[in-house]
Amino acid sequence: MNLTPERILADLIRLNTVNPPGNENKVAGYLKELFDSTGIFNEIIESEINRANFIARLGSGSKKLLFLSHSDVVPAGDGWDFDPFSGDIENGVVYGRGALDCKGLMAAQIYAVLRLAREGAPLNGTLIFAATADEEKGGTYGVKYLMENCPEKIRADFAVNEGGEEPLIINGQMIYFIQVGEKGTAWSKLRARGKSCHGSVPTLGENAVVKMVRALNALAGYKAKIKLIPEVSLLIKELMHIKGITEPLTEDNVDRLIDCIEEDKGFRETLRAMTRMTVSPNIIEGGSKTNVVPEDCSAEVDIRILPGQDKEYVLSELQRYLGDEIEIEVNNYAAPTFSTSQSNYYRLIENVTREVAGSDINCLPHISTGATDSRFLRNAGIPAYGIGHMARGFESEARNTIHGKNERIDVASLHLKAEFLVTLAKQYLS
């Protein structure tokens, strides 16, 4: 069997694994059949019915490299220009939900393992491939479950996962990014309490919705303290060097320097979010009937934090803006996680990237503003690095389709990812 990365991706897209409910068993079953036919050791580990994690191993030995990806995808929604689960391949592009997040990487990983097995290259170590469940809803049935119940199944010297920003061209220089860390989460629930009464005489009550609106208006004016961690300082300084800007980086001028990255607004704002705690009120609920003054109103706030910022820091910052009328609960907390860029693993990824993408490219470390399954690995002492490698000439607008409409990836980028993974495995496990 000689499948291409694009054919594998098309098959994966056609397996609807929208989470919820996930149904990752569809992908696990497909992979089971594929890997069984090639004689590669594999197993399926179910955390719950239909929530399947697929793991395969190639080679043997003490050195271990993990290829990690997740098989669930976010809902497609309406308004697509094509069937989001078609997996159509046209004009060198694969179309469908998951093409970029994260079935494209998974297809490249699958292809890499199959190709290495087919070539029979001797591996002085073990290559582990894991297609896991539930990443889009927090990893409870996926990597988190595996690390809590059978960590030896995916324990490795280091891992390659999603999470890297797509390449960017600045002043004619193509820059590839390697994710070395992630901001933490401190999702919080706010609650305003009032006194109910008949809506026709509202002054007899206390309107909890009005209290919450006042609080959220105050929070909308939140000005976060700038925090330049070493990884982000290095990233911004290198980008400024490429732009030909010699002004020293400080907390006072960081926004002005970031604004100099005119090439891509999405990357520019992502870079800005790497320099501070971000606060985004995204859900508000209150009231039961039009003619009843509400006595209760709640809001849910997405908060992302940097090293040195913890739950107590978040509470103190919110308190400054919300006052005493609003109850605050940090109900989903995870500390930031990092893997050093000063390691042989990082340098190997960097060198292989140059080997397959061209010696004239630049590689820079960065942190993610969102979360991936890499946090579970890092918390268990496994270095994890995220890639978003794409081929030269890739459609930059496609990056905006992640979790959006009309998701797609070009075939050339799939092949570059696959070549990177094959070369990485050969060099580390040779």
Question: CA torsion angle for 57, 59, 64, 67 (degrees, to 10)?
Answer: -40
Measured distance CA(106)–CA(34) in Å, rounded: 14
Measured distance CA(78)–CA(405) in Å, rounded: 8
Residue of 24, 72, 134, 317 with catalytic role: 72
Measured distance CA(128)–CA(132) in Å, rounded: 12
Is 24 annotated as catalytic?
Answer: no
Q: Under 8 Å CB-to-CB from 381, ≥6 apart: which residues?
A: none
Question: Hey, what amino acid is at 100?
Answer: L
| Rounded alpha-carbon distances, angstroms, from residue 327 to 296, 300, 409 | 11, 12, 45
β-sheet bridge partners, residue 129 = 56, 67
Q: Output the six-digit token pair for 215.
A: 């609080």
Burial of 2 (0-12, 13-18, 19+ CB in 10 A): exposed
DSSP for 220-271, written as a single string: HT--PPP---HHHHHHHHHHHHHHT--PPP-TTTHHHHHTT-TT-HHHHHHH
SS3 label, residue 318: helix
Number of Cβ within 10 Å of residue 11's Cβ equals: 18
Number of Cβ within 10 Å of residue 78's Cβ equals: 6
Q: Cβ(366)–Cβ(356) under 8 Å?
A: no
SS3 label, residue 179: strand
Is 252 annotated as catalytic?
Answer: no
Residue of 24, 101, 134, 135 with catalytic role: 135
Q: Cβ(121)–Cβ(424) under 8 Å?
A: no
Number of Cβ within 10 Å of residue 325's Cβ equals: 14
Any idea which residues carry the catalytic annotation?
A: 72, 135
